[in-house]
Amino acid sequence: LGYVPDQPYLPEKLTAREYIQLIAGLYQLDPSAARQRGEELLRLFGLEDRGDEFVGGYSHGMRQKTALAGALLHNPQAFFLDEPTVGLDPRSARLIKDILREVSERGTAVFLTTHILEIAERMCDRVAIISGGTVIATGTLDELRAGRSGESLEDIFLELTGGSEAAEVAAALA
């Protein structure tokens, strides 16, 4: 399993390369192979030139990419991510979405949570809609669209959860 929380904890006094080696040790990976795989991942995430800097000085996006590299180091069969694109610049968010798509196409099951429904709509084969801590609908986008007026996942979500507050907001602003 691979896991990346929305606010990953990374030891601030380690460099990205040291963090990768720490993760390799936890998974008891061959040190030489892990070092090579770690370098590939740092390069993929655009961190190869900053891999010897302390993680404590990294931006949120760099920390997120370092955590993703660590979580992918051992080629997990399932990958869990909590809000993987929150707080990222558009280029980093796109990179992460592209990498997740590639990982999924190679056979890794990818589970992600997101409040950005367009991401779920574009990336996910199956979607679970949660409201108030309860799963209220699951299925493919076509299955979720069936019998509903909404086309987008956002429309479907709002229809299932009681609609939009847009009318109330408009009235309050008038």
Q: Which residues form the domain of 144?
A: 116-174
pLDDT digits (tens, 9 = 90+) for 77-100: 999 999 999 888 999 899 999 999
Domain count, the chain: 2
Q: In a 10 Å sphere around its CB, with 0-12 CB exposed, 13-18 middle and 19+ buried, how is residue 156 labelled?
A: buried
Are 81 and 144 in the same domain?
no
**Is residue 93 located within the same domain as residue 41?**
yes
Which residue would you say has higher pLDDT here, 130 or 168? Answer: 130
Q: Looking at the structure, do residues 91 and 120 belong to the same domain, yes or no?
A: no
Residues 26 and 96 reside in one and the same domain: yes
What does the pLDDT read at residue 163?
67
In degrees and rounded to multiples of 5, residue 138 shows phi and psi of: -140, 155
User: What is the mean predicted confidence (pLDDT) over 46-61?
Assistant: 96
Q: Which of 95, 113, 131 is the last residue of a domain?
A: 113
Strands 78-82 and 127-131: unpaired
Are the C-beta atoms of 3 and 71 separated by less than 8 Å? yes
**Last residue of one domain, picked from the residues 113, 134, 157:** 113
Q: Are residues 54 and 74 in the same domain?
A: yes
**DSSP-derived secondary structure for 19-77:** HHHHHHHHTT--HHHHHHHHHHHHHHTT-TTTTTSBGGG--HHHHHHHHHHHHHTT--S
pLDDT tens-digit readout, 27-37: 999 999 999 99
Least confident of 14-18, 33-37, 148-152: 148-152
